[in-house]
Structure 1
Amino acid sequence: MSRGKKLDIFIGADFDESWAEVQSPRKTKRSNELQEPGKHFLVFQKEKRRGKTVTLVGEFHISKDDATTLLKMLKKKLGCGGSIKEGWMEFQGELKEKLRPLLLAQDFRFKHGH
């Protein structure tokens, strides 16, 4: 009985010698270059996490030190908790209307409609 041709099926792992992680390209490309606040085009996103609202603002292209000082200042003025992850600032609560004037005062810009 002939074995025939080997089927070429890719299911996401390499079984030759060990397991291999599948590297899929990101849908959006992150820019690692730093920009001044006037060149940012920020957007707001709202998510529900464990039944609570979280406001996301980003994406920031500033140094890590500048981002932490900006986040600390915003949290103090808003009286809420927050963090920064992968260039996005996360704030506890629905704070879009309060965040916009604070970031505009720091010379950040927003995409049209946000």
Structure 2
Amino acid sequence: MSRGKKLDIFVGADIDDGWAEIQSPRKTKISNEIIEPSKHFLVFKKEKRRGKTVTLVGEFHMPKEDTVATLKLLKKKLGCGGSYKDNWMEFQGELKDKLKDLLTLEGFRFKK
């Protein structure tokens, strides 16, 4: 096969042949309910992304501005990077113990 020719291969099924696309609902529902920090029950998750550890904390039920301000404060105290996505805070590195101490001082509670 020469380099200049392209193959015309079709793999898959046509939707017109009786197949239907499945629309699955979102696994977690984002709630608009605003809760004060003392009534939050936060959970930690640890994920590997591109070989590096990411610590997730959530789920936050506060206005986005307040949560982003809290995130900025925590990032400054920890000296790490992070972001806020889908009511979860993401921090670069394995920081569960340090985060738990700092968030407890801010008035948040955790599930056991």
**Structure 1 length as normaliser, TM-score?**
0.78
Alignment identity in percent?
Answer: 69
> Cα deviations across residues 58-105 of structure 1 (Å, max 9, x unaligned)?
000111110111000000000000000010000000000100010001
Q: Identify unmatched segments of 5+ residues in structure 1.
A: 1-8, 13-21
Q: Which residue of 1 aligns with 2:44?
A: 44
> Cα deviations across residues 27-85 of structure 1 (Å, max 9, x unaligned)?
33321111100111100000001110000000001111101110000000000000000
- Is 2:110 aligned against 1:101? no
- What RMSD in Å do the two structures reach over aligned CA positions? 1.5
Structure having the larger proportion of residues in helix: 2
Q: Following the alignment from structure 1 to structure 2, what is the Cα–Cα distance between the partners of residues 38 and 109? A: 6
Q: Which residue of 2 aligns with 1:58?
A: 58
> What amino acid does structure 1 have at the position aligned with 2:86?
E
Q: Which residue of 2 aligns with 1:76?
A: 76
Instruction: Kindly state the Cα deviation for residue 23 of structure 1 after the two structures are TM-superposed.
Output: 3.5
Q: Give the number of equivalent residue pairs.
A: 96
